[in-house]
Structure formats: structure tokens, C-alpha cells
Structure 1
Amino acid sequence: MAVFTEVPPDAARALAERLELGDLVELRGIQGGIENTNYFLTTEQGEYVLTLFERLTAAQLPFYLYLMKHLARRGVPVPEPHGLPGSATPAQPDGVLLHTVCGKPAAVVDRLRGHSELAPTAAHCAQVGEMLARMHLAGRDYALSQPNLRGLAWWNETVPVVLPHLQPAQAALLKSELAFQNHVAQSPAYAALPRGPVHADLFRDNVMFEDGRLSGFFDFYFAGVDTWLFDLAVCLNDWCIDLASGRHEAERAQAFLAAYARVRPLASAERRLFPAMLRAGALRFWISRLWDFHLPREASLLKPHDPTHFERVLRERVAHPVAA
């Protein structure tokens, strides 16, 4: 959620008028994150988030925007995108959700209430686990399909790019883990994993709580169709570890998994590959953070994440496998 594109107030005001959201009151850049340009957009009618997409294309974006609409209709608390008034058709009753600002594809969504819990308890983790399972089930009948763009194919493309920046021990770990994940992906157990739309980036800072209760999931712009187990692993690698060491935190993980399983029990193939997917989740974010750190883009407010964090998490997941 860095600012790569400076949006003049007049451009934001014109968009708010087109969407019939009322007169612009304030436009403020959001610090944090590394993919898109984000602003808090406040009008006389309410508070919204304006996102300009810096990497995703206009052809890729409908998957994310209509997914959020789909989930919201099924009771999953996500930011609803605002469509262009009068643009609905029988084929697309939600209308046009993708707009253009400063020559970039853009969207306006409702701003969720509450705040992120950056030091979650087992009770917070249980709420996230339950809602994640509800989200997975709610997405089963979503009509659009798009692969996880930061999945295995992207790992295979990106690892050769970041390897020259690593120390020998790091490079050896990265190459061996990538080989392991390619092997897992070819197995019958992997083919049997349930799958559908996943968030794929549901870290602590992408979930909101208000008065101790979960109020929403946001930032769906890494979503895609992948295994539900991978999505679960990504969550556990953030919500249920000690951030300083990367070590597994059993109490929070048990609360998360138990709440998830009450809504959607894990299949036998998921239990079998649970340790491997925890490693996959750690590998994915180690690769992306290495890429962002060593090959950065210029942006106002940009603050790259430390890639060594997920190196530690991966080493912990390899050394200390965890059963579901």
C-alpha cells in the first residue's frame, strides 16, 4: 500500500462524482505494502479506499473485484467495490467495477471499520480461522477463474533472478526447497487437494477487528484459484508463529485450526501435505520479499519487508514439521 502514482485531488474528486459518492473531503496516501497505490478517500457520504493498480492488468482485475462482490453477498465481511452507476447489465448485474485514474486501472471500495491486531491471541486466531473457512466455502460457486499469480510457476521464474543476491547457504536452501515443492506439486496427494478462490495474503495487517470481533478481510489483490490448504498455511505462518524467531506457536495454531475445521473439516490429503504446505507458504513469501528487496521500485512511502524473516520461518518449518 505504497504510493507509486501521485493522485491529484481533482482526479479523485472527479472519480467520486462519477461514482455518485459525494463531494471529496480528504485524500490521504496509505503507507505500508509494496504492490499498489492506495489512498484513503473521504467524501461527504463516507470513507473509502482508492487503489491504483501498478502491476495487475485490466484483464486480470475483474477476478479480484467481482470476487469481493461475490463474497460480500454471501456474508463474508470484505470491502465492497463501487460500480459505475447505470452500468449494470443482465450479464453483469454488478456493473463496471474497474475505473481509470491517472491512466492506471483503479477501484474504489468501502473502508472497513476497526483496526488490525498485530499481537493476536488464540481468540483472534480462532475468529480468523472460522472466517477463512467460510470464505473458502463461499467461493465454491464463483464463476470466474484465475490462477494464483504468485504460485509455483512464478516461484520457478523468480528464483533464478534473486539467487545472485544470496549467500551460498541461502541459495542452497532456496534451490532445495523449490525442488521439493516442484516434487510435491506432481504428487497424487497434491492433485487431490480441495481448491478454489483463496486470499493468499491474509496476514495480520489484512484483517480488521472492532471491539474484539473480526470486522473484515481486505487486500484481495493476491487472490487466485489455488489449494485451500496453501491459503491456510499462509495464515498459520503469520498468525501462529513467534515473529522474532519464526517458531511455531502451538496454542494459537490449535485455536485457528480447530475453528477452521468446525466449518470445513480437512480432507485426508490435506492432513498428509500439511507440513509441506507450511513450507510452501514460507517459500512463497521469502521469494517475493527477496525480489522486492533486491529489485525495488521507486515509490513514495515505500518500505520493503525484511526477506530474512521468511527465511527463518522456512528453516523452522523444515526443521520442525507440524502435523494438522
Structure 2
Amino acid sequence: MAVFTTVSPDEIASWLLDYNLGEMRDLRGIASGIENSNFFLTMEQDGVTREYVLTIFERLTFEQLPYYLHLMAHLAAHDIRVPAPIPGRDGEILRALKGKPATIVTRLPGGSQLAPGVGQCAQVGDMLARMHLAGQSYPRQQPNLRSLPWWQQTEGEILPFLDAGQQALLREELAHQTAFFGGADYAALPGGPCHCDLFRDNALFEDGPAGQEKLGGFFDFYFAGNDKWLFDLAVTVNDWCIDLASGALDADRGQALLRAYHAVRPLGPIEARHWRDMLRAGALRFWISRLWDFYLPREADMLQPHDPTHFERILRRRIEAAALPWT
């Protein structure tokens, strides 16, 4: 993630005395993303070198963070490949660094697959379904903080930056989603802990023959929250299964991901009936957040705001599409 809070090696070395991880060998800022300050951390202990990720949280609070960190620990304990938080000598997985919440997690193997094929999408669908089922026994509760109430709150901040057509689209879609979220069908949709941000750059694949790379795991759970599983699935499909230039869904990749998911957690008739609504909700969520980040940016050493028009195109495509991939 972009580095908002800079730290020196000496500051980190002193902070690491609260851990039993050995000696620091390297510390590198991670440039991608726009929410937290992240660093690759290399430690050596008893002649063995291990890789971790150090995160300093810029928006999330000490009160909010236990939900995310303990969810990751819960999923890792249930054989879902996610970063596992590392406890300090006192057993705590969250502590202060430069006055902000911070944590260390294990680093997953592999690299991002930014041009996924059918095989990669099927692996993502399978693991997403297993993650949803494993999360059912997670006892902590926290809503998705970037759901409908946040969209409604943020609308007034971003409207002045939009042209008349964009303003109309935003207002109409918010009205549509407000009605959908308030209905009986929405209330009946199954749900639980969700990643809520499972883009291509939040999953890693280990090296292998072309088309046979093994999914190394999901990471960056700091937008996670209790939500409808169909929303999590829609967010994922809207990124993994599209033509990036146009925003159009790719039927082969979409069906591969959905069928792999369905084989683990069968999708019900209410979910089928509202698939388009959720694809639209997923597109709206990220159109709003990208508009907010683009027009109301924060300072950061390596900030790279995303183009908000990407999700505007996706939203328009989901509204207009004659048919959508399904199981």
C-alpha cells in the first residue's frame, strides 16, 4: 500500500524488540494501494530468513482492527490461505507504531496474476466459497463499513466534481440500491464475514506452467466486514472476469468462477434473482470510493489513485447488459 507514515530502520528495529522474530535484514515500502502504509519485512532467526508484511493503519482504529486481524487468524486456522497475524511476546497481535495501530503478518507465496484465465478464476471461486463457509464460525461482528450508509454519506462530497450525466447516474443508482437493500429479498440473502475487496491484486499465485499456477492465497482484509456473500462474489467477478478496457463481463471466466464457487456453496434462487443488482452494487461501491480518492486525495509518498471512470463504465455495463454469466 502507499506509504503515508514513514519509518526508519532504527525505529522499526526498536519496535521489533516486542517480538520474537530475530534480527531485521531488510525493510521496503510497498507502492501499490491507497489505504495503509505497508512494508515488506525480512527477518533472520537462528540462521533462517523469513518474510513478513508490516502494516501501519492510516484510517482504521484500534477499536475496529481486532475484527480484521482475528478474522485472518480464524481463517488461517481453518486452512484458508491468508496472512496470519504474528503475536508479540505478550501475545498481542496489534500494537502502536508512531502513534498509529500496526501489525505484522506472514507473507504469502507468489505474485499477482493481473491477466487471469479460466483456471485462475475457478481457483478464486473455489477458495472464496470455502472462505465464506469457514467464516460462519467467526464470532466477532462488524458491518461492511463501505456499504450503503457510506455511499449515501459520501454522495454529497463527490457530486460537485461530476458532470450532469454522472450526477444523474449516481443519484439513480443510489435510489435503486437503497430500495434493493431495504427489501425482503435482500434481508433473506445469506451472509457472514466477507473480504469485500477481492481484486486481482489482492490474491497471489505461485509459479507453475502457464494456466496451472496454484493460488497462494488472499490478502488485504482491511475492508472486510459482515455482508451478503453475493456482494462479495459480485465484487470479485467485477474485477476477475472482465475486459479491463471496456468493463464487459467475460462469460467463460465468469462462469468458471461462479461454477467453482457454486460447487462448494450452492447459490440459491434469491441470489440468482438479484445477481444483476449485486453486480451493480459492487460497481457503485468502487465508483464512489475511487471518486472520493481521486478528487479528495490525501498526501502519501507513493500514492497512486485509481481512475474512477473504470467503475463508471462497469456500472453502466451491468445496468445495460442483456444477459449476465451465471451458474
TM-score of the superposed pair, with normalisation by structure 1:
0.96
Equivalence for 2:11: 11
1:274–1:323 contact (8 Å) kept in structure 2: no
Given candidates 184, 192, 202, the residue that maps to 1:206 is 202
Whole-Å separation in 2 of the counterparts to 1:156 and 1:269 = 25
1:162 corresponds in structure 2 to: 158
- Matched residues, percent identical? 59
For structure 1, the 5+ residue unaligned runs are 88-94
- 1:198 CA displacement: 0.2
Paired position in structure 1 for 2:54: 50
Give the Cα separation in 2 of the matches to 1:272 and 1:144: 30
Higher mean alpha-carbon deviation, 39-48 vs 279-288, is at 39-48
Paired with 2:28 and 2:93, the residues of 1 have a C-alpha distance of 22
The C-alpha deviation readout for 1:120-177, integer Å capped at 9, x for no partner, is 0000000000000000000001010100000111000001110000010011001100
User: Is residue 132 of structure 2 the alignment partner of residue 130 of structure 1?
Assistant: no
Q: 2:75 — aligned with what?
A: 71
Say which SS state the counterpart of residue 274 (structure 2) adopts. Answer: helix
Aligned to 1:193: 189
- Which runs of 5 or more residues in structure 2 are unaligned? 208-212
Question: Conserved in 2, the CA contact under 8 Å of 1:271 and 1:323?
Answer: no
- Does structure 1 retain, via aligned residues, the 8 Å contact 2:251–2:325? no
Asked whether the equivalents of residues 255 and 325 of structure 2 are also in contact (C-alpha less than 8 Å), the reply is no
Conserved 8 A contact 1:199-1:220 = yes
Residue 101 of structure 1, aligned match among 97, 101, 105? 97
Question: How far is the alpha carbon of 1:237 from its aligned partner?
Answer: 0.2
Query: C-alpha offsets along residues 291-313 of structure 1, whole Å, 9 cap, x if unaligned?
Result: 00000000001010000000000
Matching residue of 2:324: 322
Q: Check whether the contact 1:3–1:29 (CA below 8 A) recurs between aligned residues.
A: yes
- Corresponding position of 2:21: 21
Residue 171 (structure 1) aligns with: 167
Aligned to 1:91: none
Measure, in 2, the Cα distance between the counterparts of 1:191 and 1:322.
Answer: 23
Aligned partner of 1:275 in structure 2 is 276
The aligned counterpart of 1:221 is 222
- 2:9 is the counterpart of 1:2: no
**Matched residue count:** 316
Q: Distance in 2 between matches of 1:120 and 1:258?
A: 16
CA–CA separation in structure 1 for the residues paired with 2:102 and 2:84: 14
| Residue identity opposite 1:117 in structure 2 | Q
- The answer to whether the 8 Å contact 1:63/1:144 transfers is yes
Alignment partners' CA distance in 2, 1:46 and 1:12: 16
The amino acid across from 1:31 in the alignment is A
SS of equivalent residue, structure 2 residue 102: strand
**What RMSD over aligned residues (CA atoms) do the two structures have, in Å?**
0.8
Deviation at 1:323, TM superposition (A): 5.4
